[in-house]
C-alpha cells in the first residue's frame, strides 16, 4: 500500500469514527474479530496440512527409492549366485568340451534373457565357448573383466559394449553392460580360465518399470540411478549418461536414504526420495544412488484439492459465525441505541423525548434508570435557571442603557477635549511663528540647560543653526568659557531656592558667537513652571551700538574737552584706584596739585582764546614731564593734578614737581603772543601704612598748593602736616 493510499485510509477512518455510533463500532469490532480469528485458524490449518502432505509425499518417494535399491541389490545377488553356481558346474571346471559348455551357457541365457553374453576364456584370453558361439575364438585379453576375473570374483560397473555391439541384435537403446566374472579352477585346482557374464542394462530398466508402472501412470514419478561421479545411468532419456549435481544426489553420498524438496536441473521444484545400493553386498563396485523424484506441483496436487475444500468449508463457517456475531451484537446494543436516540432528540431541543427504561439486562437497566434520573434533574435545574435569567435580563438591560448614556457623555467630553487640543495646537503654531519671526533672538532651555527652542534671529545673532543648537547645553553654545560655571551654579541655585538675579530682569552680558567672538547682548530671562520639568525662556538682542554710544558718552563725561585730559570726575575715579594699587603692592604714591600763576592776566590781556591755547600747551608740557604710568588731569580752570605711582621715596615726587616747574618756566608761543608763566605745585604723599583716605589726600595736596601760592608762587610745597624730608 502506498503512503498516499494509507493516508487516505486513515482519513476515512477518522471521518467514519466521528459519525458512527457506539453500537456500530461494537458490531464492526465483533464481526472483524470473528473474521480475523477464522482467517487465522484457516491459515494455521493450511500451513499444517501443507507440511503434512509434503512430508507424506517425501516419505512415499523415499519408500520407492528404497524399494528400487532393494530390487537392484536382490537382483544383483541372484546374478552373483548364478555365476557362482555356474562356475561350480563340472563341465565348466573341466573346460575341455566347448560343446557342452556352450549348451550350458545357452540354457542359462534362455532362463535369464538379460544375460546378453555368457562365455569362457582360456588363460591366454581367447574365448573357448560362449552362448550362441558369440566371440568364440576371439581374444578378450584386454577386457577388464578378463583381467580382473583371473584373480577373484569381479563385478564391473556399467559400461558400453565394445566387442559385442556389432554382434548382438540391434536395439532402440545402445547396449550397456554390467560385467560379472570369476576365475575357473579345474578339479585338480589348476586355473582353467575366466567365466564372464555381461548383464544387459535392460535388467535395471525392467526393474524400474516393474516398480513404477502403477505409480508412473498417475503421478509422473521418475527413477534415476546415478553413479558416484554424477553420471545418470538410468533415468529420463534426456539425462542418461549426463552428469547431474542436484541436492538429493549430494545428500545420497552422505546418507544411506532420505528425502527432500529441491530445485531440479530443469528449474522445477521436485520432492525427491533417495537410497544407496550395495551397502550390504560383497561386491563394492556396485554402489549407486537411487533417486526417485516427483514434481512438487504433482506431488502436492492432492493437497491442493484438500486445501480448496478446507478453505471453502472455513469460509462458510466464518460467514455463519460473522452473521451470528452480527445478530447477537445488534441485539445487545439495541437498548443502547434506543437510549442514545432519546438523548439525541433531547440534545436537539425535543424535551418531550423521554429516556426509555430498558430491562434487557442488568447493566443497561442501571444505565437507563440513571440517565432518566439525570434528565429529570437537568429539567428542574433548567427551569430554575430560566426564572433567574428573566430577572437577570432586566438588570442587564438597565445596565446597558446606563452604560450607553455614560458612553455618550464620555464621547462628548472627548470631542471637547479634542477641540481644545486643536485650539491649543493652533495657538502653539501661532506662537511659534511669532517667536520664529521675532525681532529679538528667542531661546528656550529646560532645567538641565538644554536648548529646546532657537529661532531664526538666534541663528543670525549667534551663528548656530536651529538643528545644531537644539539638544545642546546653552552654556556650551553661548556662555563665554570663564562664565560657564557661574551660569550653571546660578541655574542650580534658582531651581533649589527660586531665587536668581537673572530671572525677570533685563541684563547685559557678553555672549559667545559660533566664530568665537564675544558679543554684547541684552537678555531678558523668563521662567515657566511646568508639570513636566521647568522651562526658561530668553529674549536676546545685540547692544553693540548702544554700548559704543554709551562708552563714548562716558568717555566724554570723563574727559576735559579743551585739553583732552581726564577731568575732575575721571580724577576722582582714578585716584582711589591708584591708592588701591599702592596699597596692594605696597608702594608710595604722590599727588601733585598745581595752578598756573597769573593766568587771569593772560586771559585779560590776550583774550580767552589765547588763555585756552595756553592751557592746551601747558597740558602738553605736563604730560611730557611725567611717565606713562602717571595720570595727568585738569580739575577746572587752570588747576591740574598729577598722580605719581610706584614711588621709591617722597623725594621722587619732589623731583618730578621740580622738573615740571622748570618745564613751565619756558615761554609759551601762542598765536597771539609769546607768554611766560610759572606754576605753583602742592605735593602730598600717600603712605599705605597710614591709611589716609582719598579726600584727606586731596585736601593735603590742595593745601600744599595754596601754601606755595602764599609763599610767592613758582614753587613746590609739601603738605604742611607731614614733611617727607
Ligand atoms: N581762558 C580761560 N580762562 C579761564 C578758564 N577757566 C577759568 N578761567 C579764568 O582763569 C582765571 C583764574 O583765575 P585765578 O587763578 O583766580 O587768577 P590768577 O591770575 O591765576 O591768580 P593766582 O592764581 O593767584 O596767580 C579766572 O579769571 C577765570 O575766569 C578757561 O577755561 N579759559
Confidence of residue 20 (pLDDT cuts 50, 70, 90): low
Q: How far apart are alpha carbons 319 and 331 in whole angstroms?
A: 18
Go through 378-396 and write b for each residue having 16 or more CB atoms within 10 A of its CB, e for each that does not: eeeeeeeeeeeeeeeeeee
Q: What is the mean pLDDT of residues 250-278?
A: 90
Can you list the pairs that 314-318 forms with residues at least 24 positions away whose Cβ atoms lie under 8 Å?
A: 314/38, 314/41, 314/42, 314/45, 315/38, 315/42, 317/38, 318/34, 318/35, 318/38, 318/39, 318/42
Residue ID of nearest Cα to ligand 1 atom 26: 600
- The model's pLDDT over 669-693, given as tens digits with 9 standing for 90+, comes to 999 999 999 999 999 999 888 888 9
Tell me which H or E stretch contains 379: helix 362-436
Torsion angle of C-alpha atoms 120, 126, 131, 133, degrees rounded to 10: -150
Torsion angle of C-alpha atoms 66, 235, 59, 279, degrees rounded to 10: 30
DSSP 258-310: EEEEEE-TTS-EEEEEEEESSTTSS-TT---EEEEEEEHHHHTHHHHHHHHHH
- The model's pLDDT over 480-497, given as tens digits with 9 standing for 90+, comes to 999 899 888 988 998 889
Confidence of residue 240 (pLDDT cuts 50, 70, 90): confident
Whole-number Å distance, alpha carbon 638 to ligand 1 midpoint, is 6
Whole-number Å distance, alpha carbon 248 to ligand 1 midpoint, is 173
Set of cell numbers at residue 145? 573383466
Q: What is the mean pLDDT of residues 271-281?
A: 85
Examine the pLDDT at 229 and tell me if it is beyond 50: yes
- Which atom number of ligand 1 is nearest to the Cα of residue 608? 1
Per-residue model confidence (pLDDT) at position 332: 77
Using a pLDDT cut of 70, give the percent of the chain over it: 94
Q: How far apart are alpha carbons 102 and 110 in whole angstroms?
A: 12
Confidence of residue 21 (pLDDT cuts 50, 70, 90): low
Do the domains at 23-349 and 437-544 have one common CATH topology?
Answer: yes
Cβ(154)–Cβ(127) under 8 Å?
no
Examine the pLDDT at 49 and tell me if it is beyond 50: yes
Examine the pLDDT at 723 and tell me if it is beyond 50: no
- The model's pLDDT over 621-654, given as tens digits with 9 standing for 90+, comes to 999 999 999 999 999 999 999 999 999 888 999 9
Omega before residue 589 within 30° of 0, cis:
no
Whole-number Å distance, alpha carbon 598 to ligand 1 midpoint, is 8
Cα separation values, 196 from 128, 129, 189, 557, Å: 11, 11, 19, 183
Fold of 559-718: Alpha-Beta Plaits (3.30.70)
Q: How far apart are alpha carbons 533 and 567 in whole angstroms?
A: 54
Q: Which of the following CATH numbers is that of domain 23-349: 3.30.930.10, 3.30.450.20, 3.30.700.30, 3.30.70.270? A: 3.30.450.20
Specify the range with the lowest mean pLDDT, choosing from 349-353, 377-381, 473-477, 594-598: 349-353
Examine the pLDDT at 217 and tell me if it is beyond 60: no
DSSP 107-150: HHHHH-TTEEEEEEE-TTSBEEEEGGGTTTT-B-TTSHHHHHHT
Examine the pLDDT at 335 and tell me if it is beyond 70: yes
Examine the pLDDT at 285 and tell me if it is beyond 70: no
pTM for the structure as a whole: 0.44
Beta-bridge partner residues of 117: 198
Cα separation values, 146 from 155, 180, 337, 495, Å: 11, 10, 101, 151
Mean pLDDT of the chain: 87
- Which atom number of ligand 1 is nearest to the Cα of residue 713? 25
Whole-number Å distance, alpha carbon 637 to ligand 1 midpoint, is 6
- The model's pLDDT over 588-608, given as tens digits with 9 standing for 90+, comes to 999 999 999 999 999 999 999
Residue ID of nearest Cα to ligand 1 atom 23: 597
Using a pLDDT cut of 90, give the percent of the chain over it: 40
Q: What is the mean pLDDT of residues 311-323?
A: 85
Q: How far apart are alpha carbons 354 and 333 in whole angstroms?
A: 19
Per CATH, the number for 437-544 is: 3.30.450.20
- The model's pLDDT over 550-587, given as tens digits with 9 standing for 90+, comes to 888 888 899 999 999 999 999 999 999 999 999 998 89
Confidence of residue 724 (pLDDT cuts 50, 70, 90): very low
Q: Tell me, yes or no, if 415 is annotated catalytic.
A: no
Beta-bridge partner residues of 634: 640
Q: How far apart are alpha carbons 514 and 478 in whole angstroms?
A: 8
Go through 345-363 and write b for each residue having 16 or more CB atoms within 10 A of its CB, e for each that does not: ebeeeeeebebeebeeeee
Q: How far apart are alpha carbons 73 and 65 in whole angstroms?
A: 12
Cβ(142)–Cβ(149) under 8 Å?
no
**DSSP-based three-state secondary structure for 349:** coil
Question: Does residue 608 line the site of ligand 1, with CB under 6 A?
Answer: yes
**Does residue 311 or residue 146 have the better pLDDT?**
146
Probe target for ligand 1 pocket from 563, 567, 596, 603, with the most ligand atoms within 8 Å of CB = 603
Q: What is the mean pLDDT of residues 320-326?
A: 85
Q: Which of 440, 595, 638, 702 is catalytic?
A: 638
Q: How far apart are alpha carbons 424 and 710 in whole angstroms?
A: 84
Examine the pLDDT at 215 and tell me if it is beyond 80: no
244: Cβ–Cβ under 8 A, 6 or more apart, which residues? 224, 226, 230, 232, 265
Residue ID of nearest Cα to ligand 1 atom 4: 637
Per-residue model confidence (pLDDT) at position 126: 93
Per-residue model confidence (pLDDT) at position 47: 87
- Which atom number of ligand 1 is nearest to the Cα of residue 596? 20
Q: What is the mean pLDDT of residues 512-533?
A: 88
Question: Does residue 616 line the site of ligand 1, with CB under 6 A?
Answer: no
Q: Structural domain boundaries of the chain?
A: 23-349, 354-425, 437-544, 559-718
Structure ipTM: 0.94
Residue ID of nearest Cα to ligand 1 atom 11: 600
389: Cβ–Cβ under 8 A, 6 or more apart, which residues? none
- The model's pLDDT over 705-722, given as tens digits with 9 standing for 90+, comes to 999 999 999 999 987 555
Residue ID of nearest Cα to ligand 1 atom 14: 600
Examine the pLDDT at 274 and tell me if it is beyond 60: yes
Question: Does residue 560 line the site of ligand 1, with CB under 6 A?
Answer: no
Probe target for ligand 1 pocket from 602, 635, 637, with the most ligand atoms within 8 Å of CB = 637
Q: What is the mean pLDDT of residues 447-469?
A: 93
Cβ(547)–Cβ(519) under 8 Å?
no
Amino acid at each position: 500500500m502506498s503512503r498516499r493510499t494509507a493516508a487516505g485510509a486513515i482519513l476515512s477512518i477518522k471521518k467514519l469514527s466521528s459519525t458512527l455510533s457506539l453500537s456500530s463500532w461494537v458490531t464492526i469490532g465483533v464481526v472483524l474479530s470473528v473474521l480475523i480469528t477464522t482467517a487465522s485458524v484457516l491459515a494455521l490449518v493450511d500451513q499444517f496440512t501443507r507440511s503434512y502432505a509434503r512430508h507424506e509425499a517425501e516419505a512415499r518417494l523415499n519408500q520407492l527409492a528404497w524399494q528400487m535399491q532393494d530390487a537392484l541389490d536382490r537382483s544383483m545377488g541372484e546374478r552373483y549366485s548364478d555365476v557362482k553356481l555356474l562356475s561350480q558346474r563340472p563341465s565348466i571346471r573341466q573346460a575341455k568340451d566347448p560343446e557342452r559348455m556352450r549348451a550350458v551357457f545357452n540354457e542359462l541365457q534362455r532362463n535369464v534373457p538379460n544375460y546378453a553374453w555368457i562365455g569362457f576364456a582360456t588363460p591366454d584370453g581367447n574365448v573357448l565357448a560362449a552362448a550362441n558361439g558369440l566371440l568364440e575364438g576371439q581374444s578378450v585379453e584386454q577386457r577388464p573383466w578378463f583381467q580382473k576375473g583371473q584373480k577373484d570374483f569381479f563385478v564391473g560397473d556399467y559400461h558400453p559394449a565394445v566387442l559385442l555391439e556389432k554382434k548382438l541384435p540391434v536395439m532402440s537403446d545402445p547396449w550397456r553392460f554390467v560385467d560379472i566374472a570369476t576365475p575357473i579352477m579345474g578339479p585338480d585346482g589348476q586355473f582353467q580360465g575366466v567365466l564372464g557374464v555381461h548383464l544387459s542394462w535392460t535388467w535395471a530398466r525392467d526393474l524400474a518399470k516393474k516398480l513404477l508402472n502403477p505409480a508412473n501412470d498417475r503421478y509422473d514419478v521418475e527413477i534415476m540411478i546415478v553413479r558416484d561421479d554424477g553420471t545418470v545411468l538410468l533415468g529420463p532419456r534426456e539425462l542418461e549418461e549426463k552428469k547431474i549435481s542436484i541436492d538429493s544426489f549430494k545428500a545420497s553420498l552422505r546418507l544411506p536414504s532420505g528425502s527432500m524438496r529441491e530445485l531440479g536441473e530443469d528449474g522445477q521444484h521436485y520432492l525427491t526420495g533417495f537410497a544407496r545400493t550395495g551397502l550390504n553386498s560383497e561386491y563394492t563396485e556396485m554402489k549407486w544412488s537411487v533417486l526417485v523424484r516427483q514434481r512438487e506441483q504433482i506431488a502436492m496436487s492432492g493437497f491442493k484439492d484438500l486445501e480448496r475444500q478446507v478453505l471453502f468449508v472455513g469460509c462458510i463457517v466464518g460467514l455463519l459465525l460473522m452473521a451470528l456475531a452480527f445478530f447477537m451484537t445488534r441485539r445487545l446494543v439495541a437498548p443502547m441505541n434506543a437510549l442514545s436516540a432519546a438523548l439525541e432528540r433531547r440534545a436537539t431541543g425535543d424535551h418531550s423525548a423521554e429516556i426509555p427504561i430498558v430491562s434487557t439486562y442488568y447493566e443497561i437497566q442501571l444505565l437507563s434508570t440513571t440517565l432518566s434520573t439525570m434528565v429529570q434533574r437537568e429539567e428542574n435545574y433548567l427551569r430554575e435557571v430560566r426564572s433567574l435569567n428573566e430577572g437577570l435580563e432586566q438588570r442587564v438591560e438597565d445596565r446597558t442603557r446606563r452604560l450607553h448614556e455614560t458612553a455618550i457623555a464620555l464621547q462628548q467630553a472627548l470631542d471637547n477635549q479634542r477641540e481644545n487640543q486643536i485650539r491649543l495646537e493652533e495657538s502653539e503654531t501661532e506662537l511659534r511663528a511669532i517667536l520664529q519671526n521675532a525681532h529679538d533672538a528667542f531661546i528656550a532651555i529646560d532645567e538641565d540647560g538644554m536648548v529646546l527652542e532657537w529661532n531664526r534671529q538666534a541663528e543670525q545673532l549667534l551663528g548656530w543653526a536651529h538643528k545644531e543648537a537644539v539638544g545642546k547645553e546653552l552654556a556650551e553654545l553661548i556662555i563665554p568659557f570663564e562664565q560657564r560655571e557661574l551660569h550653571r551654579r546660578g541655574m542650580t541655585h534658582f531651581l533649589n531656592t527660586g531665587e536668581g538675579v537673572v530671572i525677570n530682569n533685563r541684563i547685559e552680558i557678553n555672549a559667545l558667537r559660533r566664530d568665537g567672538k564675544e558679543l554684547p547682548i541684552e537678555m531678558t530671562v523668563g521662567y515657566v513652571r511646568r508639570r513636566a520639568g521647568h522651562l526658561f525662556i530668553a529674549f536676546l538682542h545685540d547692544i553693540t551700538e548702544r554700548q559704543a554710544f554709551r562708552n563714548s558718552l562716558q568717555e566724554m563725561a570723563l574727559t576735559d574737552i579743551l585739553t583732552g585730559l581726564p577731568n575732575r570726575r575721571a580724577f576722582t575715579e582714578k585716584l582711589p584706584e591708584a591708592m588701591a594699587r599702592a596699597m596692594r603692592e605696597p608702594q608710595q604714591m604722590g599727588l601733585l596739585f598745581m595752578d598756573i600763576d597769573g593766568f587771569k592776566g593772560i586771559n585779560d590781556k590776550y583774550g580767552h582764546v589765547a588763555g585756552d591755547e595756553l592751557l592746551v600747551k601747558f597740558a602738553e608740557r605736563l604730560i611730557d614731564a611725567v611717565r606713562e604710568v602717571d595720570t595727568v588731569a585738569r580739575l577746572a580752570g587752570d588747576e591740574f593734578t598729577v598722580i605719581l605711582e610706584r614711588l621709591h621715596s617722597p623725594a621722587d615726587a619732589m623731583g618730578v614737581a621740580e622738573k615740571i616747574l622748570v618745564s613751565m618756566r619756558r615761554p609759551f608761543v601762542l598765536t597771539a603772543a609769546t607768554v611766560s608763566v610759572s606754576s605753583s605745585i602742592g605735593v602730598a604723599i600717600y603712605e599705605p601704612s597710614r591709611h589716609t583716605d582719598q579726600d584727606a589726600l586731596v585736601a593735603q595736596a590742595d593745601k600744599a598748593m595754596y601754601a606755595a601760592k602764599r609763599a610767592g608762587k613758582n614753587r613746590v610745597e609739601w603738605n604742611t602736616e607731614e614733611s617727607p624730608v
